[in-house]
Structure 1
């Protein structure tokens, strides 16, 4: 018997052994599956929008930030270890100097712990020549878009599954109560 015919036979047809609760449960399952499938393009659209926003942010950052190099003016503090032997942090702020179009500048830059004075470290500068974080890579926009779409659909599908599970429990309670009544009535008849 094919899967489609198996589905129609007990749940949609006129089989007198199929209870109303079974038909309702089958209908609910169809609705849940249809809603989950309809949510795929919505989640894809949200992921696409997220990708577009992140891509624009990455492009704006790339246009306003430029790579440069800085020379450390003092030694970076040595590596410190926490109580379990794990390094507390691998980088630290260190005084440094760097060149910009209008001359030299100095300030704090991030460098690996234990780096000696005079070491050249790569930095990123904003339009004012101040150290800043590097621009977001283009791959981050792709990953953010994919994660947004997948997590949106997963959350929606999980919500649908929980609603279906709760409704199924209610239907099960009704079925069990009906079985109890039928058994009680059958048991009562056998002793009469």
Structure 2
């Protein structure tokens, strides 16, 4: 019966942190590079992700503060069918609406409403501080979703960037170590051949 070799993953992964007569200074440096890279990648991801999410949340909050809902009236009945146009459609049609501001100024503009809405119907539109019609702001759930997605995306990009930088540094260290091994082998090989009687 063949004995299977031990499969202790911890010893394989953490050998650079343990006492080992074959361990070199470059092995210790590589271990620290790996540790610092992961710590920096996590820290950069968390920090940039939170910052991006906070910025997005402030943007949505500022947008909501700059606009306000207005009760308007359709001046004409809305079309009953959607126009045959290519592109994105949200199931609504354009119609002319009218509203009066607090100072008595009458405004007219075009807004999207449900098809077939009769003239004189009351609809809610959004206006800025200058009483110009604008697109409605994102609602709370949509703003939260976009904020979370932005934070996750930025965190992933930042963490990956730091991790890739650490991999490049580690790759250079590995190439240097291999070059040192080649140099040592060129020095040791003649002696090894003499000791082994010229075999190999």
TM range, normalised to the smaller chain?
0.5 to 0.7
Instruction: Return the alpha-carbon distance in structure 2 between the equivalents of residues 117 and 18 of structure 1.
Output: 83
| CA positional deviation for 1:40 | 5.8
1:136 and 2:141 correspond: no
Structure 1 residues 2 and 176, CA gap change in structure 2 (3 angstroms): closer
8 Å contact 1:95–1:107 — kept in the other structure?
yes
Q: Based on CA coordinates, which of the two structures has the bigger radius of gyration?
A: 2
Matches within 5 A, 1:114-153: 118=119, 120=121, 121-153=123-155
Instruction: Return the alpha-carbon distance in structure 2 between the equivalents of residues 81 and 56 of structure 1.
Output: 34
Report SS of the residue matched to 1:158. Answer: helix
Aligned length in residues = 183
Report SS of the residue matched to 1:134. Answer: coil
Report SS of the residue matched to 1:65. Answer: strand
Instruction: Return the alpha-carbon distance in structure 2 between the equivalents of residues 59 and 75 of structure 1.
Output: 28
| RMSD value, Cα | 3.9
2:23 equivalent in structure 1 = 18
- Identify unmatched segments of 5+ residues in structure 2: 1-7
Match of 2:39 among 34, 38, 43: 34
| CA positional deviation for 1:55 | 5.4
8 Å contact 1:72–1:116 — kept in the other structure?
no
Structure 1 residues 110 and 184, CA gap change in structure 2 (3 angstroms): same
| CA positional deviation for 1:69 | 3.6
